[in-house]
Structure 1
Amino acid sequence: MAQPDEPQPTVVPSCPLPSKICDVLRSDRPRSCCGMAMAGFRTSKYQVPEWHRRNAGVYYKAFTASEEAERGRAESQHLMKHAAASAQRAQEYSKTTLGQRLQDIHFWRVELQKEIMELDAETNLLAAQKLRLERALDATEVPYSVVIDNLECRERRQPPDLVIDEVERQLLKEADLIRDIRDLLKRTIIQATTQIRSNRIQKENCELDWSDKVETYHIDDKCVSYCTDSTNVQFHPSSVKFEENASTPKSWAQFSHDNISSAEQKKLASVQLRSLINSIIHDASEDLRMQRAAVNEAFDNRCRELDDAKFRLEQHLQQILKDIADEEANILNLKKAIRDKEAHLKVAHTRLFDRSFRPNIELCRDEPQFRLISEVEELTVFLEALKRKLMESEQNLKNLEETRMKLEKEIAVKVNSIFIDRQKCMSYRVCYPVDLEVASYKQ
């Protein structure tokens, strides 16, 4: 249909056209008067009306063809304008959607890059904490060796000082504490290593997603720059389809969202683990410090007890030595007294013996005789008493000597115990690291 503002074709008046242009009947032709001789000239000729009708048919066909061509040109113009406008709108809309897509890609790319940087920084911090754990674990080797050396040295104490005293209980408690701390540090190092590996795996996933976003951004940005004047555009009929493995906008956004969410979870777990590591190192350091103080206090108390026991033993030894000297002097006096009494007894015996030779009636039981006999009896009693006392004194001296040896042995044992506890153990504990927290920062 022609548009209202388009010029209408001019109709040229002509003679009325028959309803059927070529409807010419042979019966309507005039018969020739010339007979059969003119038949060959008349059979192929038309009458004048037929000629006009035929011309009219040719004119009508030309008019119809012209009208159809004009209508086709008008429709072509309209179609070209509509197609051009539609193609321009479609291209602009595609460009707009590509621009929006670029914004979405840029948003996720920035978010992924931010997560990658934060996760990398967090992984580095966790690696530093893991290094602190390893240094703290190395720092526990010296305390453990000190404790084991103290226990081994104290095994060389001599009886009766080889006792399970408070020092040994505290040392065993310290050894158990160090072993527990070392086990905890080793488990935490394994946990930190696992977390670092998880962080790096998730970082690689985010980097792959970010790399895909960067490549896609460059592709879509190049697509935005394409226009009809571009020299590098061409037909690709095979690309006009959806790939079977293509994602949807929802799954595409969900993929990056899941990567970022997983990175956030890994980062949060890493932060919590770093806080836990700080607490473990601090608490372990405090526990070791307190236990070290308890062991040192037990050593101080035990050394004071040993010093006090040694001092008392030395006092007793001095008294025993004095008693031995007195007992030796007493034995000498007893022996001298016995000798003196034996001399008196000899005199009395000699007197009695000589008087037994008195003749006849002179052998009288007179007062001197009774007195001599009484003197002998008294001297005999005293001698027996002195000899018993001498024996007792000699036994006492022997007991004192044995006591002296025991005291000297006990003093030697105490000296050995004091040397072990004070010189071997306490002096070696000077190299005991007080603070694991400080040691964990040392290079």
Structure 2
Amino acid sequence: MAQPDEPQPTAVPSCPLPTKICDVLRSDRPRSCCGMAMAGFRTAKYQVPEWHRRNAGVYYKAFAASEEAERGRAESQHLMKHAAASAQRAQEYSKSTLGQRLQDIHFWRVELQKEIMELDAETNLLAAQKLRLERALDATEVPYSVVIDNLECRERRQPPDLVIDEVERQLLKEADLIRDIRDLLKRTIIQATTQIRSNRIQKENCELDWSDKVETYHIDDKCVGYCTDSTNVQFHPSSVKFEENASTPKSWAQFSHDNISSAEQEKLASVQLRSLINSIIHDASEDLRMQRAAVNEAFDNRCRELDDAKFRLEQHLQQILKDIADEEANIVNLKKAIRDKEAHLKVAHTRLFDRSFRPNIELCRDEPQFRLISEVEELTVFLEALKRKLMESEQNLKNLEETRMKLEKEIAVKANSIFIDRQKCMSYRVCYPVDLEVASYKQ
């Protein structure tokens, strides 16, 4: 709306007007009543219509300023209400998202706690099975000592009865069986120990994750309780940014999911190992019982067969001596190969150990980790194979030495052989415990 023009005073050409109203007001009062003297003073005055127009202009400006101020106040009120409502909605939405986040954290915290308790219970069960293995291993000492005693007693037979007969083979088979069982029990104990360690490591990972989530839950729960009336809120401009190392919701959930999945795998492996331990103890007990019966039968048969020839033993003496030399050389080579593989294994273990100190989510199952674990497994397999081969070679060497000693001895008389087999060996086998499954539960 156009504003009316400012009223202008009328000017008389005969006399110049003053430049400003103040000049007119400051002009001196007329000293003379002469018409010529008053003419210039009168021309500076406004006319009545001009005075009304000027007042109308002032009224209009005042009205426009009042309208503008009122409009500004209305806009300010609207902006304040809109800002308050928007801020309240934003705060409620943030509170809602924090509440949903608390539910997510609580869900994973409960799942992790459940997994920790189950893994701890499974570890205790596996530790009990490991104790059974140790008791079963201790229970094999008596049968092994009986077998070794039988072999040693039969070593005292006199020519020509000192032969590797069926009894000898069954005893050696029994000794090998007991050694194999002991080796199997020892390996299974090591496997159980490793599994228990893996269970505890995975439990520790879950506990760390659980602990972080408990702390995060308390932080977010405290954040939910903040409001505009809280006395402990303040400005933190530097916190309005995303951390470079912050995880995404997907990676956050995947991290806990991976921990739980790994714990489930370890728990499943532990359950399978416990089942395997039961089978091993049961099968070992059954194998020992059957072999004991076979040895006793061989003893009965051998007591009725005491004829053999000394020359057959002497024919094998040279070959035995050669085999002993070859076996000793083989043992030396095997020991050197084991030392070489152990050096490689130390390097791999050291790498794995140093990498285990990577912090937080940096503890990644990356390709080098899998490669190092694969390398350790390969080296372990080779070392176990070499050690088993070394044990076999040493046992073979021992057997060869025993055979050489037997070949160099004179064979005792048949009566002495019967005495050794029946009185010395079979009577001692009465104390032979065969039920490892029962022995594994004894204190």
Per the TM superposition, whether the score is higher than 0.5 is: yes
Equivalent residues in 2 for 1:105-184 (5 A)?
A: 105-184=105-184
CA distance in 1, matches of 2:192, 2:280: 13
Q: CA deviation at 1:431?
A: 2.8
CA spacing shift, 1:350–1:149, aligned 2, 3 Å: closer
CA distance in 2, matches of 1:352, 1:52: 100
CA spacing shift, 1:47–1:175, aligned 2, 3 Å: same
Q: Give the conservation status (yes or no) of the 8 Å contact 1:109–1:210.
A: yes
CA spacing shift, 1:126–1:30, aligned 2, 3 Å: farther
Q: CA deviation at 1:395?
A: 53
CA distance in 2, matches of 1:216, 1:13: 91
1:25 aligned counterpart, secondary structure? helix
Q: Which region of structure 1 is more displaced relative to structure 2, 236-245 or 104-113?
A: 236-245
- Between structure 1 and structure 2, the one with the greater Rg is 1
Q: Give the conservation status (yes or no) of the 8 Å contact 1:171–1:295.
A: yes
CA distance in 1, matches of 2:184, 2:291: 17
Q: CA deviation at 1:16?
A: 28
CA spacing shift, 1:5–1:249, aligned 2, 3 Å: farther
Q: Which region of structure 1 is more displaced relative to structure 2, 64-73 or 227-236?
A: 227-236
Q: CA deviation at 1:142?
A: 2.0
CA spacing shift, 1:440–1:381, aligned 2, 3 Å: closer
1:71 aligned counterpart, secondary structure? helix
Report the counterpart of residue 11 of structure 1 in structure 2.
11
Q: Give the conservation status (yes or no) of the 8 Å contact 2:7–2:50.
A: no
TM-score (norm. length: structure 1): 0.65
Q: Give the conservation status (yes or no) of the 8 Å contact 2:30–2:38.
A: no
Q: CA deviation at 1:414?
A: 3.5
Q: CA deviation at 1:439?
A: 1.7
> How many residue pairs get matched?
443
Q: Give the conservation status (yes or no) of the 8 Å contact 1:313–1:410.
A: no
CA spacing shift, 1:266–1:327, aligned 2, 3 Å: closer
Give CA deviations for 1:241-300 in whole Å, capped at 9, x if unaligned. 211111111111111111111111111111111111111111111111111111122223
Q: Give the conservation status (yes or no) of the 8 Å contact 1:9–1:67.
A: no
CA distance in 2, matches of 1:367, 1:222: 40
Q: CA deviation at 1:56?
A: 3.4
- Which residues of structure 1 form unaligned runs of 5+? none
Report the counterpart of residue 52 of structure 1 in structure 2.
52
Q: Give the conservation status (yes or no) of the 8 Å contact 2:161–2:308.
A: no
Q: Percent identity?
A: 98
Q: Give the conservation status (yes or no) of the 8 Å contact 1:334–1:390.
A: yes
Q: Give the conservation status (yes or no) of the 8 Å contact 2:174–2:292.
A: yes
Q: Which region of structure 1 is more displaced relative to structure 2, 285-294 or 385-394?
A: 385-394
- Which residues of structure 2 form unaligned runs of 5+? none
Q: Give the conservation status (yes or no) of the 8 Å contact 2:199–2:267.
A: yes
Q: Which region of structure 1 is more displaced relative to structure 2, 355-364 or 3-12?
A: 355-364
Q: Give the conservation status (yes or no) of the 8 Å contact 2:202–2:259.
A: yes
CA distance in 2, matches of 1:65, 1:128: 92
CA spacing shift, 1:286–1:48, aligned 2, 3 Å: same
Q: Which region of structure 1 is more displaced relative to structure 2, 183-192 or 343-352?
A: 343-352
CA spacing shift, 1:223–1:39, aligned 2, 3 Å: farther
Q: Which region of structure 1 is more displaced relative to structure 2, 223-232 or 342-351?
A: 342-351
CA spacing shift, 1:43–1:172, aligned 2, 3 Å: farther
CA spacing shift, 1:74–1:251, aligned 2, 3 Å: same
CA spacing shift, 1:10–1:72, aligned 2, 3 Å: farther
Q: CA deviation at 1:419?
A: 2.6
CA distance in 2, matches of 1:228, 1:351: 53
CA spacing shift, 1:40–1:415, aligned 2, 3 Å: farther
CA spacing shift, 1:19–1:213, aligned 2, 3 Å: farther
Give CA deviations for 1:139-171 in whole Å, capped at 9, x if unaligned. 222222221111111010111221222211110
Q: CA deviation at 1:317?
A: 35
Q: Give the conservation status (yes or no) of the 8 Å contact 2:146–2:429.
A: yes
Q: Which region of structure 1 is more displaced relative to structure 2, 133-142 or 94-103?
A: 133-142
CA spacing shift, 1:309–1:281, aligned 2, 3 Å: same
Q: Which region of structure 1 is more displaced relative to structure 2, 15-24 or 429-438?
A: 15-24
CA distance in 2, matches of 1:100, 1:147: 70
Q: Which region of structure 1 is more displaced relative to structure 2, 422-431 or 341-350?
A: 341-350
Q: Give the conservation status (yes or no) of the 8 Å contact 2:24–2:44.
A: no
CA spacing shift, 1:99–1:329, aligned 2, 3 Å: closer
Q: Give the conservation status (yes or no) of the 8 Å contact 2:8–2:50.
A: no
Q: Give the conservation status (yes or no) of the 8 Å contact 1:314–1:411.
A: no
TM-score (norm. length: structure 2): 0.65
Q: CA deviation at 1:423?
A: 2.8
Q: Give the conservation status (yes or no) of the 8 Å contact 2:160–2:309.
A: no
Q: Give the conservation status (yes or no) of the 8 Å contact 1:2–1:74.
A: no
